[in-house]
A and B are shown apart, each in its own frame.
Chain A
Amino acid sequence: MPKIRRTRKKAPEGYELIEETLNELTIKMKEAENESHEGKRKVESLWPVFKIHHQRSRYIFDLFYKRKAISRELYDWCMREGIADPNLIAKWKKQGYENLCCLRCIQTRDTNFGTTCVCRVPKSKLEEGKVVECVHCGCRGCCG
């Protein structure tokens, strides 16, 4: 079903091309939101939400910056509508943060000792460490 339109104007041209994928992602997001919590940890139920959010923003970001398939206008319109996350994309433009999973994982105020999340540690430095799924978004390593 159509999302709530935040801006008054209609979508700019080129929206029809991306509309389909975006609708699919919206449906996926709704499913993730309504999933049952059975068999999952308390934090684990939130992971798909973060994942799809990342995926959606990634899609717009890739289209504009990497493939240059949409116009600036459409890109800005998506940001304003809330389809892509401007804060997250701002981090992706920085060196070292290109694959950042979510904004919670770099928030040092959220940790006990004022550090970043464990998923930001490069695998080489993790030393034999087994698979880590970060508690915020279930990420298994988003650096490098």
Chain B
Amino acid sequence: MTLSLGNNKYNRQNWEDSDFPILCPTCLGDNPYIRMMKDKYGKECSICERPFTTFRWCPGRGMRYKKTEICQTCAKMKNVCQTCVFDLEYGLPVAVRDHALGLKDDIPTGDFNKEHFHQNLGKELALQGDDLREAHSAPNAFLERISAGRKGPYYKRNLPHICSFWVKGECRRGEECPYRHEKPSDPDDPLSVQNIVDRFYGTKDPVADKLLRRAEEMPSMAPPEDKTITTLWCGGVTSALTETDLQEYFYQFGEVACINIVQKNSCAFVQFTKRESAEHAANKCYGRLDLKGVRLNVRWGKPQQSGAKHHADVEKTTPVPGLPGPLPNPGKVTQYDPSKRAKLAESVPKPMSEPIDLPTMGAMGAPRAPSEFAGPDKGGNSGFQKIHYPSQSKDRMGSGKYSHMAPPSQYNNANQGQKRPGQKRAASDWN
């Protein structure tokens, strides 16, 4: 006789009634205008299995219709969204948030215990009013960091499910099929086995495990023991970012001593005058920072490398014996004298106007052995006897690649005497 769910009053104490769902913005979708359907006692909660008011809406064009999966009592208990069961503040799985905040809930999961718990919980929550789990006053830095990894709302969650008929090759609907015609995720992938009950209680959640693992592997934000380090290392610096950009951002934390950008490694070193400013900056933007659209990876700078030297990146190769040392620096560059250059074409670029003071290195002619040389440091002839490359030997011409095509011996003998490794050939050597 009483056909409507709303009319029948028997045994309805445990049934939940609500006016509006508790949802996260991602689940609601990108469109600010939503039409939502309310169904009193539409489904039973996935966790406590009691009937509750379901809400159903379309989260955007091309998305599937989403509905609330867990009841409000369960959602309030864990402070999560009613559909996706992610935290309302951070958008993270329950397990991750609880691990970070050190919360441990011993909610019974068994049959009767669970029913009893949820029954009483409903009454308690009603008495407490709208107490959505003490809002933690200090925004947890760890959680902020993990959730900062997500740049914007993840709407892929709202996509239609995979068309199981299409997977078997049997989809008759073709064009008008509202389900996705895509390959399903790999069944071996641990992320593809997810269960709403497990995710809610925080046990056996592969997504949470992955996030926590990733968080552990991130270098810790703790300031380095060496108190003199005031440098932050920034990775991912593209050519779009200049030192001024970095300066403009980092000076809010304190005075910046210097900024070094190493374009080759796409990194930058920001050195502060005070240790506190460096720590403050690290607290604010350790790990990830977005400047002018460029995503920077911020870490503590390693000692002794505040940008001046980059030896760590340079591979140490065995020095080749017999080569002359590095050329000495040129002498003092005199000021540009336009009168002497008047005859040259206009396209010749002008040299710098300031004289450059470079350390002169004495005689320019003598080649010097490099400092890493283990061998005798006499310079001059000693280099000739060591043959590192085959082409350095006197009885060969060239690299040896075409030695099987050696020219007739008359040419070989003629040139032998003149061959000296490491010396420039005079113009007369070439025919």
Chain A complexes with chain B: yes
B175 with A130: CB separation less than 8 A:
yes
B176 touches A (CB below 8 Å): yes
The B contact surface, by secondary structure, is mixed
Mask, A123-144, CB within 8 Å of B = 1, is 0000000111100000000000
Taking residues whose C-beta sits less than 8 angstroms from the other chain, chain A's interface range is under 10
B172 with A132: CB separation less than 8 A:
no
B176 with A112: CB separation less than 8 A:
no
B107 touches A (CB below 8 Å): no
Mask, A97-118, CB within 8 Å of B = 1, is 0000000000000001100000
CB distance from B355 to the nearest CB of A (A): 67
* Residues in B neighbouring A2, C-beta threshold 8 A: none
CB distance from A36 to the nearest CB of B (A): 14
| Complex Cα spacing A133 to B176, Å | 7
Taking residues whose C-beta sits less than 8 angstroms from the other chain, chain B's interface range is under 10
| Complex Cα spacing A113 to B172, Å | 29
Task: Give which listed residue, B35, B37, B172, B176, contacts A131 with CB less than 8 A.
Answer: B176
* Residues in B neighbouring A132, C-beta threshold 8 A: 176
| Complex Cα spacing A130 to B37, Å | 25
* Residues in A neighbouring B35, C-beta threshold 8 A: 113
Residue of B nearest to A114 (CB): B35
CB distance from B68 to the nearest CB of A (A): 16
Mask, B37-67, CB within 8 Å of A = 1, is 1000000000000000000000000000000
* Residues in B neighbouring A113, C-beta threshold 8 A: 35, 37
* Residues in A neighbouring B37, C-beta threshold 8 A: 112-113
Which of B35, B37, B175, B176 gathers most chain A CB within 10 Å?
A: B176
Give chain A interface residues in 1-55, CB to chain B under 8 Å.
Answer: 39
The residues of A with any CB-CB pair to B shorter than 8 Å are 39, 112-113, 130-133
Q: Known contacts A130-B175, A131-B176; can you find 8 more A-B pairs with CB under 8 A?
A: A39-B172, A112-B37, A113-B35, A113-B37, A130-B176, A131-B175, A132-B176, A133-B176
